[in-house]
Amino acid sequence: MSEKYIFCMKWGTLYSAEYVNKLYSMVERNLSYDFKMVCFTDDEVGIRKEVQCFPIPEIDLPGNLPERMWKKLTTLKKDLYGLQGTALFLDLDIVIIDNIDCFFEIEGAFRIIKDPDMKYWRITGNSSVYRFEIGKHGYVFDEFISNFDNIRKEHRNEQEYLTAAIHEKNLLQYWPKEWCPSFKYDCHSKIPFNFWKVPKIPKDSKIIIFHGEINPHKAIKGGWGKPYRYVRPAPWVADYWK
């Protein structure tokens, strides 16, 4: 049985080492298999010793580009610090609420979330949670580097391109929808119910993803996001995000 890895990535100042450390704790509580956790980062200060840190693999992009998470594509390189095995990539701003063994057990060459913000006919995935065999999808990164200008015109961010590249090889599969609900779309109520309804945990969910302006910190406290998007405090997030 191949080595099981949890991958994450941290750069800049948006998320602190606390997010990496809490992610490790959540995985440790909710994964029955032995695993190794790797964080690709530009600053490993404060990250717990159980997490192996590597520099974010080099990716040569113009410095004035808006951030579109392109760095995450480096996890698909053919040679990734000599690592071998199965990797489950998890964004730092997720909350694990149940056992995640199934993310390693379900079959498929490449699994990703079906983006909840996309129309049903769009194939785009959400790369908050994706799984792959390390080094087996190097074509994704290689094509990106060799054809960057055209790819950036066709795809607005990393997850849109990543999904399209895997789909082109007929290897794209999604997680069961209930496993990775969106806090924004599945936990939080729409206007006007959001003003009095506390965000809920959807049935059969495993990992709650956060996108947009609300992260776990903000979800616990509640408050205002974009105009008219009020979120009631969700204290249950703190019970899992620790």
CA distance 71 to 65: 12
Query: Quick one: average pLDDT of 112-128?
Result: 83
Residue 174 to residue 186: CA distance in whole angstroms = 17
Mean pLDDT of 201-211: 96
Three-state DSSP state, 62 = coil
Can you tell me the mean pLDDT for 103-120? 88
Is the pLDDT at 120 greater than 80? The verdict is no
Q: Are strands 230-231 and 51-55 parallel, antiparallel or unpaired?
A: unpaired
Bigger pLDDT: 109 vs 227? 109
18-36: pLDDT as tens digits? 999 999 999 999 999 999 9
**Which of 18-27, 62-71, 203-212 shows the lowest mean pLDDT across its residues?**
62-71
Q: Is the pLDDT of residue 147 over 60?
A: yes
Point out the least confidently predicted range of 31-35, 164-168, 228-232, 237-241.
228-232
On the question of pLDDT at 228 being above 70, the answer is no
Task: Kindly give the pairing relationship between strand 230-231 and strand 223-224.
Answer: antiparallel
Element (H, E) at 27: helix 17-30
Half-sphere exposure of 199 (CA within 13 A, CB side): 28
Average pLDDT on 89-112 reads 98
Q: What is the DSSP string of 134-149?
A: TTTTHHHHHHHHHTHH
CB-side neighbour CA atoms (13 Å) of 33:
18
| 29 contacts: CB under 8 Å, gap ≥ 6 | 96
- Find out if CATH 1.10.10.10 is the number for domain 4-178: no
* pLDDT tens readout for residues 163-199: 999 999 999 999 999 999 999 999 987 777 777 688 9
Residue 58 confidence (pLDDT)? 86
Look at residue 52 in the predicted model and tell me its pLDDT: 98
Sheet of strand 110-114: strand arrangement:
51-55, 36-41, 4-10, 86-90, 125-133, 110-114, 172-174
Instruction: Show the tokens assigned to 35.
Output: 């695993």
Name the one residue in this structure whose structure tokens are 């006919």.
121
Indicate the domain borders of the chain. Answer: 4-178, 183-240
Angle between the 158-168 and 138-146 helix axes, to the nearest 10 degrees? 120
Position 77 scores a pLDDT of: 96
Given pLDDT bands bounded at 50, 70 and 90, which one contains residue 139? very high
Averaged pLDDT score across all residues of the chain: 92
Calculate the alpha carbon distances from 91 to 38, 155, 194, 207 in Å. 12, 20, 26, 11
Distances from the Cα of 23 to the Cα of 53, 86, 107, 156, 209, angstroms: 14, 18, 24, 28, 13
At 67, the pLDDT band (50, 70, 90 cuts) reads low
pLDDT the model gives residue 64: 57
